[in-house]
Chains A and B, each alone.
Chain A
């Protein structure tokens, strides 16, 4: 039926219109294809070159086919830096950060939403101000302070501040308004539930979609964080992946064994891309949601 409709529409068009239409479609798709190519080619190159020797890459840099040096590259890379360790470190920092940011973000947002207390409004406005003026600009003072506390070269400066993740709090506070009816909280109280219990049993589940949205960005941001990690972490066994990657710029490896460097890059990229593709449907809407409200 539908096919017939299209076919009959098509039939109504003159030849000229039809060929014009084809031309427009073709050029649009070619344009989009080109853009896709630009977006994706670096990924493909990284993946392919991760399996080729440094020599092969230098000799024929444009060859887009896999080689057989994956294993050798892996050994070179591991010889240079314990990338598994970096992976574990990055995962630890990102997961704890995301969890803290999610839990305390929800707790704070819920606190602002569910209770009337003196200073509620001014405090919230205060927070919004720092949404605009990023406190991380003061990283020198932060670094010096952490150094005085002896917290340099620990994960604490990277993780604990996430308890006060302003963006998450702001978003969830606005989100709560739409999803948690205050009457529901009242009736829970009448049933004799404790406040913290109500937060856990009603607040958190209701906020969950919002929490998930913000957690995705917290996670990606934390996984990719370079500057703060660069300043705070000294010992290589604490390095996160971006630090290890940046360290690959050194010496012989950079010149002679680009394959190993590409492999290192691939290792930082693949998990996050997989994560994204698996959850992509959900994520794309989150990107929009996270900002429209933000």
Chain B
């Protein structure tokens, strides 16, 4: 009986291949092959015009040891991401505290969620242009507004000052993404039985303790998820810094993210081979970040498993 079933199944296996095949072929042709091709180009001096010439590890040596600009661009990228994620998550925390409070019942969660999520829908290209108009030092809306209400006396160089430009772009990213984080965190909190929270109130837990001991553990997996997806996305930040400046990441290269740098190496300076090496280094960095993430999640699973066993044992 069992044998018969397995032959039927193995007979059916061909359908499995058949169903997966189109995707697999496309994946190999449009994803795997380009990755390998990029890897190949990274070992050449391809400049876009002449045939690629093999240069061994020269490009990698240059990225890793001789090009401070690459490392600066990486630091810029991480800094912009870092500022953004702290504000974004902080804001989302405050919001879930507000909306999950037991004493003060805040109404309109549904409407607020939608409104906070709106900025996430617009193309980053449009966002860049909107803020480029609004944050212009000389005639931007924000400076005009602040000057007219006498909050400032000189125009602020939102996008022209080194540090400020990074903060501005980080905040633009926050503007785009905090609604998303809020929705995710809120879903996690709501997924839990209300009684759990109510019982902890009876135990006398204050708001901050509740946040720390009840809500935070609930959203921890989501928090890690948000952190890592946003880091992977953040490392590839391009549209806003590219379009909000002159395309090279001025002022002083403070908005030059890794991808902006890579783009310019490839398309402005015609160093295609070198740009490919930068892409690959970034690739490896992302891989390490993702690997760490998987490890953390795994450890979490392991710990949960152990806890469960312990409890079981204790019961016995």
Contact = CB atoms under 8 A, between A and B. Distances in A.
B37 to A, nearest CB: 4
Interface stretch (B55-63, B116-124, B301-309): B116-124
Contacts of A35: 91, 116
A140 B39 CA distance: 10
B210 interface: no
A173 to B, nearest CB: 11
Contact of B272 (A137, A140, A269, A272): A140
B296 to A, nearest CB: 13
The main secondary structure of chain B at its interface with chain A is helix
B96 to A, nearest CB: 13
Contacts of B134: 42, 45
Contact of A241 (B123, B236, B238): B123
Interface in B6-38: 9-10, 12-20, 22-24, 26-27, 30-38
- Residue with the highest number of chain B CB atoms closer than 10 Å, among A38, A130, A276, A284: A284
Given A36-B115, A164-B27, A281-B110, A261 B16 contact: no
A161 B180 CA distance: 26
Nearest to B266: A140
A31 B106 CA distance: 12
Given A62-B148, A132-B287, A138-B283, A108 B19 contact: yes
B85 to A, nearest CB: 16
Contacts of A32: 98, 106, 112
A32 B91 CA distance: 11
A21 B104 CA distance: 8
A277 interface: yes
Contacts of B54: none
Nearest to B128: A246
A141 B276 contact: yes
A288 B115 contact: no
A224 B175 contact: no
A171 interface: no
Contacts of B110: 281, 284
A242 B175 CA distance: 19
Interface stretch (A68-76, A77-85, A114-122): A114-122
A110 B31 contact: no
Contacts of B225: 291, 294
A95 interface: no
B293 interface: yes
A246 B39 CA distance: 30
B129 A265 contact: yes
A115 B129 contact: no
27 contacts: A29-B106, A31-B98, A39-B119, A45-B141, A61-B140, A62-B144, A110-B19, A111-B20, A132-B294, A137-B283, A140-B262, A161-B26, A164-B30, A195-B12, A226-B243, A245-B129, A268-B122, A272-B121, A273-B118, A284-B110, A287-B180, A287-B183, A288-B183, A288-B187, A291-B226, A292-B187, A292-B222
6 nearest A-B pairs in the assembled complex, by CB-CB distance: A111-B19, A115-B16, A141-B38, A288-B187, A132-B290, A224-B123
Interface of A: 21, 24-25, 28-29, 31-32, 35-36, 38-40, 42-43, 45-46, 58, 61-62, 104-105, 107-108, 110-112, 114-118, 120, 123, 127, 130, 132-142, 144-145, 157, 160-161, 163-164, 166, 169, 195, 199, 220, 223-227, 241-243, 245-246, 248-249, 258, 261-262, 265, 268-269, 272-273, 276-277, 280-281, 284-285, 287-288, 291-292, 294
